[in-house]
Amino acid sequence: MEKTARTKRIAAGICCLLAGVLVAGWAIGKYLPAAPREASPERSETSWEFISYSTVEAENVVDVPLGAPYLLENLLQGEKHFTDFGELDEGERALARHKAKQPDWSYECSALSMKVGSAKAVSLQAFSEWYPHYAEVYSGFVKAADGVVILVDITLANKADADTRMPSFSLWTEGIDGSSVDVIGSGWQVDRGILTELYGEPREGNFKSYQLKDRWNMLAPGEEKSCTIPFVVSRGALGTTDQAPAYDLSQFCIATWDCESATAYRFWLG
């Protein structure tokens, strides 16, 4: 075990399990999109920037090798735990009081076994060709963004005796923000547009956009669920150039966290 001034890093397993084989043609079949529909307002490219909206420094970091399962127990998450009420102005406090009524404000994820099976990177343009509805809805964004879609296949199993929700995730790599400080919750956030494209359904009376189904992120006792978690990053963040176009994901991980213990869990992609 290696310990630094800021974090103690815990090895989460002695050896890696073999990574699952990347699934060719993952865009075919179960998640085949319907015909393109009317476009909705454009999205901002800031949706795929690396962000650090938390100031909670990780006291512990657990590194999990690709393919290895790890039991996540009683993760406390939610925006409440990243909010310093003493720093808010009157308007921000009013907004915080409104958010406090929402289920995402503070929640606990019980005993969940998680593992990363595989990860794949494709250009945003290629993804849009596979999902024409997404290209139609976000046409301006797709044309303007030199982005790469990273698709991480994970498996979660609920080991608790009650329903529990999936934890929040980010895509993380060291030093991308120019800082050596480990801050929980930082990284590229899950791309909501692509997630909804993969697992959503048309809104009632509004066929131009999709919405996630109720309880899509809940697991019943004993239930096991496999899903794909999407992120969008710039080619530059991957160190990709025209001369070296290959995508290397070995320095990236999908991260989740526990706010109570200030622990970051990092499931590495290679």
Answer with the residue of higher pLDDT: 130 or 29: 130
Of 67 and 235, more confident: 67
Indicate the helix (H) or strand (E) that contains 18.
none
Element (H, E) at 15: none
Better pLDDT: 35 or 74? 74
| Residue 165 CA: distances (Å) to CA of 148, 214, 215, 221, 226 | 28, 12, 8, 11, 14
Closest by Cα among 96, 61, 49, 18 to 180: 61
By percentage, how much of the chain surpasses pLDDT 70? 71
Does the pLDDT value for residue 209 go beyond 50? Answer: yes
**CA–CA gap between residue 108 and residue 247 (Å, rounded):** 35
Among 90, 99, 247, 104, residue whose Cα is nearest residue 185: 104
| 199 class by beta-carbon count within 10 Å (0-12 exposed, 13-18 middle, 19+ buried) | middle
- Residues 79-126: pLDDT tens digits? 877 777 677 778 877 887 787 788 777 889 989 999 999 999 998 889
Q: What is the pLDDT of residue 21?
A: 27
Task: Give the pLDDT score at 52.
Answer: 57
Q: What's the confidence (pLDDT) of residue 64?
A: 98
Range from 17-26, 123-132, 169-178, 258-267 carrying the lowest mean pLDDT = 17-26
237 phi and psi, to 5 degrees?
Answer: -65, -25
- pLDDT the model gives residue 138: 81
pLDDT of 259 above 70: yes
Beta bridge partners, 200, equal 212
Percent of the chain with pLDDT over 90: 37
Lowest mean pLDDT among 11-25, 166-180, 186-200, 218-232: 11-25
Distance CA 199, CA 216 (A): 8
pLDDT by residue (tens digit) across 143-189?
A: 667 789 999 999 999 999 999 999 999 999 886 655 556 788 888 98
Q: What is the pTM of this model?
A: 0.76
Among 174, 117, 125, 184, CA closest to 151: 117
Q: What are phi and psi of 142, to 5 degrees?
A: -60, -40
- Mean pLDDT within 228-246: 73
> Is residue 53 within 8 Å of residue 82, measured between CB atoms?
yes
Listed in sequence order, the residues at least 6 apart from 11 whose beta carbon sits closer than 8 Å to its beta carbon are 1, 63
In single-letter form, the type of residue at position 144 comes to A
